[in-house]
Amino acid sequence: MNTMNRTKDNSGKLNSVFYAQTYHPIQAGSIDGTDILPHDNAVYRALLCSSAGLYDPLGDPNVIGEDPYCTVFVGHLSHLTTEDTLRKAMSKYGTVKNLRLVRHIVTGASRGYAFVEYETEREMQRAYEKAHRSVIDDSEILVDYNRQQLMPGWIPRRLGGGLGGKKESGQLRFGGRERPFRAPLRPIPFDDLKRLGIPPPPEGNYMSRYEVPPPPRKKRTSLDREDKEDRHRKRSSGHERRSSSRDHVHEERGSVDTKDGSKKRHRHGRDLFDEHEKRSSSRKYEHDERDSHKRDRRSSSGYDHHRSDRRRSSDREPRSHKRHRHETSSNHKLGT
């Protein structure tokens, strides 16, 4: 029964990982973060530099930018990638404030990694989440936060530390985004880890291999909170001013629309009145024309009637004259 439970626990830990919060050279050389002895000579060299304090991450004169919380590390770059190409690719996630492509001090050739600083921490987190494993110049890049300045105890690769690495070199380093620590399948030597100052694995708080580890965030001080409140007040006052100006413009537009509407109504009423006047005048004109036409017809009919009367009277006169002549002639014949 115990064997079955142990098997279930081990199978559940196969996809469980955790990430280093602080850097320790011996732990970085361990696949599960529980080793207590160095694996190679480079780990010895890194341990010596760490214990002797030979490396100062803040004393690097080539460090760019003012805020490490706004800076990302970009690795696995092609040696053909230039500053312009990298700036164009990383500008998709925010405004690039500074960019440093690390080159060889003698030849000037690219070393395959760079540091990109953004304007805000939010833009840096966007690039940290979305730019990882994207492709630039046919090369899949690695994007991580600026461990050089933000990770306590950091030792760079040139001194035997760093993270990642190639299998061929035999100097793999674990605990980073590329190669996280695996959940240990063997008992954890808590006492030895505590003696060496190595943080133990977070039992019960492992992450999935497919989860994105959150980068360290800047601690908010009272001054930062006051600045944030001031920005919020300015933003809210600006919003109120914009809303009041919008309301004023809306009111002006409403008054102009009202005036235009009254003008349009007045114009429409005047047009209706003019149209009514035109119709009444046209009707009056038609009525007058009808009356005049009737009068003309009446006058013309009276004239025709008078002419017919004259014709009748003129016709009667010769007929009566003829009748008189006929009667006279007949009387004369009878007398004779």
CATH code of the domain containing 136: 3.30.70.330
My answer on whether 18 and 45 are in the same domain is yes
Q: Which residue has the tokens 């001013």?
A: 241
**Residue 325: per-residue pLDDT:** 58
Examine the domain organization and report whether 141 and 158 are in the same domain. Answer: no
**Cβ neighbours for 139, distance < 8 A, ≥ 6 positions apart:** 76, 77, 78, 81
Alpha-carbon distance 294 to 122, whole Å?
96
Nearest to 103 by CA among 87, 69, 80: 80
Q: Are 162 and 280 in the same domain? A: no
On whether both 324 and 293 belong to a single domain, the answer is yes
Confidence (pLDDT) at 66: 74
Query: What end-to-end distance do the CA atoms of the chain give, in Å?
Result: 185
Per-residue confidence (pLDDT) for residue 336, from 0 to 100: 44
Domains identified in the chain, total number: 3
Contact between 175 and 154 (Cβ < 8 Å) = no
In a domain, 244, yes or no: no
Judgement on whether residues 145 and 158 belong to the same structural domain of the protein: no
Parts of the chain with a pLDDT under 70: 1-13, 61-62, 64-65, 221-228, 232, 238-274, 276-278, 280-336
Q: Do 265 and 125 lie in a common domain? A: no
Regarding whether 170 and 23 lie in a shared domain, the answer is yes
Q: What is the structure's pLDDT at 4?
A: 46
136 — phi, psi (to 5°)?
Answer: -130, 120
pLDDT for res 153: 93
Listed in sequence order, the DSSP H helices in 82-160 are 83-90, 121-130, 147-150
Which residue, 120, 149, 178, sits at the end of a domain?
Answer: 149
Q: Which of 110, 132, 149 corresponds to the end of one domain? A: 149
* Shared domain check, 50 and 183: yes
Alpha-carbon span 92 to 124, nearest angstrom:
11
User: Residue 197 sits in which domain range?
Assistant: 11-55+154-215
Instruction: Show Cβ contacts of residue 43 under 8 Å, excluding neighbours closer than 6 positions.
Output: 25, 26, 28, 29, 160
**For residue 243, is it within any domain?**
no
Has residue 141 been placed in a domain? yes
Residues 158 and 143 occupy one common structural domain: no
Task: Report the half-sphere exposure of 186 (CA within 13 A, side-chain side).
Answer: 8
61 domain residue, yes or no = no
| Residue 84 φ then ψ, to 5° | -65, -40
Distance separating alpha carbons of residues 310 and 186, to the nearest angstrom: 150
Predicted pLDDT at 152: 93
Residue 306 lies in a domain: yes
Residue that terminates a domain, selected from 109, 134, 149: 149
Classify residue 3: in a domain, yes or no.
Answer: no
Does a structural domain hold residue 281? yes
In a domain, 137, yes or no: yes
Burial of 70 (0-12, 13-18, 19+ CB in 10 A): buried
Same domain, 195 and 164: yes
Q: What pLDDT was estimated at residue 62? A: 67
Contact 162, 121 (CB under 8 A): no
- Same domain (yes/no): 140, 206: no
Residue 47 and residue 158 share a domain: yes
